[in-house]
Amino acid sequence: MGDRVVAATPPDVVTVGDAGAEPIGRSERKHRAILAAAEEMFLAGGYLGTNMDELAARSRVSKQTVYKHFGSKEALFVELVTSMTDAAGDRVHHDIADPADGDDLVEFLEAYADRQLDVVMTPKLLQLRRLVIGEVGRFPDLAEALYEHGPKRAVGMLAAMFERLAERDLLHVDDATAAATAFNWLVMGEPVNRAMLLGDSAIPTAPERTEHVRAAVRVFLAAYGAR
């Protein structure tokens, strides 16, 4: 059976540098459609509860096309984890300029931490974490993908930023990775653990998040603030 494609659907558009918008190809549209269906189905039904025939139907492609793009159900699951985690990290870390001379470092770090919590504490990403943890025994690659593209990437980008701030004497940092790890888990540890164990109802409200972020930044600067 051939792929079912709606002919009237216009091509998706992506922005490539300064060259403007370019239409993406038919194969890339299928790839994205499969990932979108996979996100919906894996998060709702888990790994075992996701049927590849139904996934292909929701993607409007054949089952053969799904396997052509991803090779296996497990490989599709790993790419979903990677793509969702990368997208969340991009929303937190990309296009964020270091504070300019004269900017308030406390306000900058609080805004950074608030954005990090706001992105990571979305129900979809929390459900993804729960799902990965539940499947680690059978698919250890899932946990590695989540760790590499989530906490490890976040700590790496924070460490690079803290090194730059230390060079400007805005922070006192001997080990940038240790400082980044401390900041990351001061901000993320309690809210994420709470929501992971108690469910989405435990996601902090905006005022609760603000209070938590202020306390985390205060503790961080007590250890790493400029002397």
Tokens of 112: 């950074």
pLDDT band of 90, cuts 50, 70, 90: confident
Count of domains observed in the chain? 2
Mean pLDDT for the stretch of residues 117-146: 86
Report the DSSP beta bridge partners of residue 21: 15
User: Which domain range does residue 90 map to?
Assistant: 73-224
Q: End of a domain among 29, 55, 70?
A: 70
Query: In 2-71, which ranges are continuous DSSP H helix?
Result: 26-45, 52-59, 63-70
Report the DSSP beta bridge partners of residue 13: 23
Whether the CB-CB separation of 47 and 135 falls below 8 Å is answered with yes
* Same domain flag for 36 and 87: no
Domain for residue 176, yes or no?
yes
| Residue range 141-197, pLDDT digits in tens | 778 888 888 889 889 999 999 999 999 999 999 999 999 999 999 999 999 999 999
The DSSP 8-state label assigned to residue 171 in this structure reads B
* Same domain flag for 210 and 116: yes
| Residue range 37-81, pLDDT digits in tens | 999 999 999 888 999 999 999 999 999 999 999 999 989 998 998
17-31, 88-102, 195-209, range with greatest mean pLDDT: 195-209
- Longest alpha-carbon distance in the chain: 69
Q: How many CB atoms lie within 10 A of CB 208?
A: 11
Domain for residue 18, yes or no?
yes
